[in-house]
Chain A
Amino acid sequence: MSAGQRRLDIEQIGDVTVAKFVDKKILDENNIQVIGNQLFGLVEEDGRKKIILDFSNVEYLSSAALGKLITMDKKVKSSGGKLRLCTIRPDIYEVFAITRLNKLFDIRDDQQAALAGF
Chain B
Amino acid sequence: MAERSEFEVSIPSSTSHGYEVQERILTLLESSGFTDRDLFGVKLALEEALVNAIKHGNGMDPEKMVRVHCVLKQEEVTIVIEDEGEGFDPSDVPDPTDDDNLEKPSGRGLMLMRAFMTSIDYNDCGNKVTLVKQRTVETE
Contacts and interface: CB of A to CB of B under 8 A. Distances in A.
A95 B102 contact: no
B64 to A, nearest CB: 17
B103 A98 contact: no
Interface string B9-20: 000000100010
Interface string B43-55: 1100110010001
Contacts of A98: 111-112, 115
A112 B109 CA distance: 32
B112 A63 contact: yes
Contacts of B102: 100-101, 103-104
B103 A70 contact: yes
Interface residues on A, range: 20 to 34
Given A29-B15, A62-B48, A70-B103, A91 B40 contact: yes
Interface in B89-113: 96-97, 102-109, 111-112
B96 A64 contact: no
A60 B116 CA distance: 13
A2 interface: no
Contact of A99 (B19, B51, B55, B97): B97
B15 A63 contact: no
A100 B97 contact: yes
Interface string B27-55: 00000000001001001100110010001
A113 interface: no
Given A29-B55, A98-B115, A99-B112, A62 B47 contact: yes
11 contacts: A60-B44, A62-B47, A62-B48, A63-B48, A63-B108, A63-B111, A66-B108, A91-B37, A98-B115, A99-B96, A101-B102
Given A27-B47, A63-B108, A98-B115, 4 more contacts: A28-B15, A28-B19, A99-B112, A100-B102
